[in-house]
Every structure is written in structure tokens, then in C-alpha cells.
């Protein structure tokens, strides 16, 4: 997961939520939403390289449907193709590997792309 600053300008890695089971992951996200007064949740959607919705993207959509049953906060999807690769390259350049997991950095990149579109 990633979080933006209150002004919605800069995204930063926040945490990793390991999905041992769906309900505990939903509860963890709901807790973060409440504690941080989140206004919008941006969910990365792993669209296939050919642009199709594959099995993994369907799982994400199912999870988001379940999450949305428990919150009024809007949830928006964002294409996450190649964000993990970009995150790994960024962490190599900044020497942050080990301090931040690839997934958290990828989440920050997804959120930053969303924020940049909203500012433009």
C-alpha cells in the first residue's frame, strides 16, 4: 500500500498487506482508510500486456467488490502494468532495496501516476 500527502501531491510506500485471507486483508485496509481519513482508494489492476483482463485482474476486481461493500470511500482502478519493474529499477538507482519491498514501491508508483493525472 501507498499513501499520499494530505495535499495529494506526493505518494510514498506505506505498508504491505499480505493476503492470508480475504477478510483480514479487507479489515486491514478498512483500518488504514479510517485512521488516515482516506478520500479515495486507488487499486492497481494487473491488466495483461495485450490489454485484456486476465485471471489475476479478475481476482483484484472481486476483492475490490468485497472491499467496496464495507466502505463508502470510492475505489478507482489504475492500470499497473510494468509498475513492479519500474519500482525495482527505481530502488536500484536509489539504493533503497531491502528497506522498501517492491510491492510497496510499485503501489507508490501507481498512486503517483493517479495523483499526477489529477493535478494536470
Quick one: residue 55, left, alpha or beta (phi over 0 = left, psi -120 to 50 = alpha)?
Answer: alpha
C-alpha cell at 20: 492470508
Mean pLDDT of 62-79: 96
Measured CA to CA, the distance from residue 23 to residue 19 in angstroms comes to 9
Q: What is the pLDDT of residues 21-45, one digit of tens each?
A: 999 999 999 999 999 999 999 999 8
Q: What percent of the chain has pLDDT over 90?
A: 48
pLDDT surpasses 80 at 87: no
Spell out where the chain has E strands. Answer: 2-4, 11-13, 41-45, 75-79
pTM, whole model, 2 decimals? 0.78
Mean pLDDT of 38-57: 88
Strands 41-45 and 75-79: parallel
Q: Which domains does the chain have, with CATH numbers?
A: 2-115 (3.30.420.140)
Amino acid at each position: 500500500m501507498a499513501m499520499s500527502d494530505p495535499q495529494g501531491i506526493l505518494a510514498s510506500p506505506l505498508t504491505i498487506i499480505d493476503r492470508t485471507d480475504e477478510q483480514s486483508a479487507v479489515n486491514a485496509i478498512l483500518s488504514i482508510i479510517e485512521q488516515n481519513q482516506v478520500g479515495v482508494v486507488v487499486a492497481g489492476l494487473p491488466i495483461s500486456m495485450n490489454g485484456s483482463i486476465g485471471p489475476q485482474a479478475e481476482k483484484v476486481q472481486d476483492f475490490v467488490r468485497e472491499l467496496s461493500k464495507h466502505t463508502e470511500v470510492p475505489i478507482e482502478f489504475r492500470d499497473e502494468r510494468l509498475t513492479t519493474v519500474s519500482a525495482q529499477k527505481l530502488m536500484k538507482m536509489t539504493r533503497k532495496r531491502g528497506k522498501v519491498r517492491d510491492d510497496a514501491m510499485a503501489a507508490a508508483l501507481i498512486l503517483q501516476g493517479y495523483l499526477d493525472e489529477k493535478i494536470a
